[in-house]
Chains A and B, each alone.
Chain A
């Protein structure tokens, strides 16, 4: 297995110099695979920063944290429409064609159809990035594992096959994955599991020492 590291949310690395410094460090460490949950605000920066670097990109879809935030703002339907609005005309047509086979499930507002609709809308915005693998987001996967929704995994496996990318499932609960695999007579749809390890990569990198971080909190407290 090639060495892998997570690219944390933009709020962690903050700006382009912060991102480039982290990517330089990963390169020095011999990291080959970057795992990232795409954020619209960071697409351009990540695209530019990855140019010419030796990483392969594995994306985690859909961005469930972003969806939860948008849904609070605009409701579940509004959150989906926001993703449509971000697509160009060509991507919209492409998305429309991809949705045709899933129309009945979408009309029924099925959980798995909704998750994959979000994944599709986000995936189409990544056309300039060197995406090789897609991981099903751990919040969606773990919800399905908890409630016993096998359908999401079989639909996701079909979804990735149709888009020509490798697929795995991200989960914070490998023990639950094993339990369901036992009940379902094997891993769902032959998918492999990746453990969601949170900040692996960044945790080791952290450019600021604990003493400096505590001093920063003190400064913030004084300013408050």
Chain B
């Protein structure tokens, strides 16, 4: 039987997920929510046949849903996700989960109580070339160090909108683009023992534009440099360099380079991504959203828990919180 799925928030990400759902399971899109009534005509003209509602309450009154994908601004996640979970709807929520750790914990507690199928949109977890890096990192032997980069050409002056208001977004480059990399670092190197951070705001008022984060894990120390003010980075670029006793490895969106025993190999995206997928934007690695939605729907159907549940990924929210505390105090913060 076809699942009944909704998309809440029809900005760029909502439209992307609606497209993925239309390909993955034609006819599954029961409805979408967009609070801006002026955008309804544009949404309808994309070919989307599902009814459009202005509120999640109106959507829930009209449909008994199996699942929903939440793509609204961060500060609305608590109310939207709560309304869906209370009705027994499985939820995939775009990252970050919420604007502060307490709100994240409240949502994790509710997901636990309701025994809900949930997922958080850390799409790098579905990236074939980064997953290949995850597989190959142990072959470097005892790890010595790593450096990660999160770079985007996005902010070069004061900006308006909820994304640049800390109370609504939770912060700047650390809580918005960087969680993809933070998720990956936790997968690759485990929880850190200590966190140190330097945050700078050369352009924005109230949120950080640049960050240098030092992480000390059991057995390896590393650093992440994040900035959304890097010229000539039209698309968000995530990269990692790792050095171990047996060699080194570098990975970014295009390729993976690995050197062991004096020989360097290049593994391209096409080498590790041979399955039939729907790709909406190769530059933005949008196929990862396809894989993410496909896995989410399979768990909704099987009533099983995905890898990236709210509870499993709250470590990312804890790390974000630790980075902000370390940045504010200038002190080394111990993981707790």
Contact = CB atoms under 8 A, between A and B. Distances in A.
Interface stretch (B42-50, B61-69, B306-314, B322-330): B42-50
Nearest to A71: B12
Interface stretch (B18-26, B97-105, B166-174, B183-191): B18-26
Contact of B278 (A9, A108, A146, A198): A146
B45 A111 contact: yes
A67 B45 CA distance: 19
Interface in A171-205: 172-173, 175-176, 196, 198-199, 203
Nearest to B233: A11
Nearest to A150: B47
Given A143-B19, A176-B23, A9 B46 contact: no
B147 interface: yes
Q: What does DSSP make chain B's interface, helix, strand, loop or mixed?
A: mixed
Contacts, number: 125
18 contacts: A9-B234, A39-B234, A138-B281, A139-B280, A139-B281, A142-B280, A143-B15, A146-B23, A149-B45, A150-B47, A151-B45, A172-B280, A210-B264, A217-B250, A217-B257, A221-B243, A224-B223, A224-B225
B301 to A, nearest CB: 21
B322 to A, nearest CB: 20
A10 B234 CA distance: 10
A204 B34 CA distance: 44
A112 B19 contact: no
B52 to A, nearest CB: 13
Q: What does DSSP make chain A's interface, helix, strand, loop or mixed?
A: helix
Interface in A106-161: 108-112, 114, 138-139, 142-144, 146-151
Contacts of A65: 234-235, 281, 283-284
A218 B312 CA distance: 32
A14 B231 CA distance: 11
Interface of A: 9-11, 14, 39, 64-66, 68-69, 71-73, 108-112, 114, 138-139, 142-144, 146-151, 172-173, 175-176, 196, 198-199, 203, 209-211, 213-214, 217-218, 220-221, 224
Given A146-B20, A224-B223, 8 more contacts: A65-B234, A72-B154, A108-B41, A143-B46, A149-B46, A172-B280, A220-B149, A224-B225
B278 A203 contact: no
B250 to A, nearest CB: 4
Contacts of A224: 147, 149, 212, 223, 225
A138 B279 CA distance: 9
B41 A143 contact: no
A149 B212 CA distance: 45
B45 A110 contact: yes
Contacts of A112: 45
A210 B278 contact: no
Contacts of A210: 257, 264-266
Contacts of A213: 250, 255, 257, 266
A221 B225 CA distance: 10
B19 A147 contact: yes
Report which residue of A9, A14, A217 has the largest number of chain B beta carbons within 10 angstroms of its beta carbon.
A217
A220 B281 contact: no
Contacts of B280: 139, 142-143, 146, 172
Contact of B22 (A66, A148, A151, A217): A148
A213 B225 CA distance: 19
Contacts of A139: 280-281
Interface in B3-59: 12, 15, 18-20, 22-23, 38-39, 41-42, 45-49
B248 A214 contact: yes
B203 to A, nearest CB: 12
B200 interface: no
Contact of A221 (B38, B49, B147, B259): B147
B241 interface: yes
A175 B279 CA distance: 11
